[in-house]
Amino acid sequence: MDHPRRKPPAVSQDLSDCIVRIATDHDEAAFDVLFRHYAPRLKSYFTRRGGDPAMAEEITQETMVSVWKNAAQFDPAKASATTWIFTIARNLGIDRLRRAKRPSFDPHDPAFVPDEEDPPDRQFERAEAQRRVRDVMNTLSSNEKSVLMLSFYENQSHGEIAQRLGLPVGTVKSRIRLAFGKLRAALEPLTGAGR
């Protein structure tokens, strides 16, 4: 005795043939047969799984569009038409669920709001400070430059710099202090220090 829900082999074969005809000939009549057969079943499937009718309808439409576009990937030797179509539907449903769980983009989130551009006078002051620092860096001795670079660009401690350069720690500290003094003197007119 046949299982009551199982389709007779001829119906199953006909549905598989419809997918093959879509793949080979873009057969709209074959697609119409598939759509009439599967659309109500897909919609019912998604509704039973807790989807609202509008969402079930959307995923059903997406599934059938995917069947039309990807019919050439169907292999009747590997799966029945029903298995193949419901696998597509299930995957689309999972994708939709993942998208729904993702937090929505908030354009007002401070992380996405660009910083306000500085007014022109502030931009000028910054450019002037950078120019002065470059000028002072060019006047530093190679010994002063090397300790500043190691300290601030490579984030090394005084002890690490001393070991790397083979110098006493006191010498490293003195060179950094001298270099800072020169930088501070160059920047005082911009910061208002000493006024």
* 35-44 tens-digit pLDDT: 999 999 999 8
Contacts of 141 (CB under 8 A, 6+ apart): none
Q: What is the pLDDT of residues 110-148, one digit of tens each?
A: 666 666 777 788 878 888 878 877 887 888 888 888 888
- Which sequence spans correspond to the domains of the chain? 9-101, 120-191
- The fold of 9-101 is Rna Polymerase Sigma Factor; Chain: A (1.10.1740)
Would the pTM count as exceeding 0.75?
no
Q: Which amino acid would we find at residue 7?
A: K
Q: Compute the average pLDDT of residues 10-30.
A: 85
Please choose, from the candidates 16, 25, 27, 63, the residue with its C-alpha nearest in 3D space to the C-alpha of residue 44. Answer: 63
What percentage of the chain reaches a pLDDT higher than 90?
26
* 135 touches 126 (CB < 8 A): no
The CATH architecture of the domain made up of 120-191 is Orthogonal Bundle (1.10)
